[in-house]
């Protein structure tokens, strides 16, 4: 139950993130004061009056068309992380501390160390690979 709620909530949050950052354009074809066509992703279909206006080719005076296209751009949020001077300083300090500890962590190992001279390995009473029949090939 808990896993399904977690999956549903993570999916819901991913969808919210997707739609909050999505930008798109709504195109409308308005003819005689009424919306004739709306397009989100494709091209607009022009009406009969708009096509007839293209066919008539008047050389002297052209009457203004009653049809026009309207495009509205809807921009999603563009939340960017802005870096500041303090975060760059923190990164520089972190890098310096990391390099210092990395290069100074190696100490010379004494070859004549007697640390494990007193250590006795455990006594093996059974041959474990033969007992469990698991052999490393």
**Pairing between strand 67-74 and 24-31?**
antiparallel
Tell whether the model's pLDDT for residue 37 goes beyond 80.
yes
Residue with tokens 């709504």: 26
Min mean pLDDT across 2-6, 55-59, 63-67, 133-137 is at 55-59
Task: Report d(CA 19, CA 114) in Å as an integer.
Answer: 66
For the chain, counts of helices (H) and of strands (E): 4, 3
Q: What is the model's pTM? A: 0.38
Residue 18 — pLDDT band, cuts 50, 70, 90? confident
For the stretch 47-78, pLDDT in tens is: 766 555 554 555 545 566 778 888 888 777 76
Tell whether the model's pLDDT for residue 39 goes beyond 80.
yes
């Amino acid at each position: 139950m808990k896993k399904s709620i977690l999956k549903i909530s993570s999916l819901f949050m991913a969808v919210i993130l997707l739609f909050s950052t999505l930008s798109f354009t709504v195109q409308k074809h308005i003819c005689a004061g009424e919306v004739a066509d709306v397009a989100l992703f494709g091209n607009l279909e022009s009406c009969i009056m708009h096509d007839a206006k293209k066919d008539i080719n008047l050389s002297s005076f052209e009457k203004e068309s009653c049809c026009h296209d309207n495009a509205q751009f809807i921009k999603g949020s563009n939340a960017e992380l802005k870096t500041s001077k303090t975060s760059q300083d923190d990164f520089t300090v972190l890098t310096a501390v990391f390099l210092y500890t990395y290069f100074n962590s190696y100490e010379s190992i004494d070859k004549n160390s007697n640390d494990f001279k007193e250590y006795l390995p455990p006594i093996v009473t059974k041959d474990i690979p033969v007992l469990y029949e698991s052999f490393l090939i």
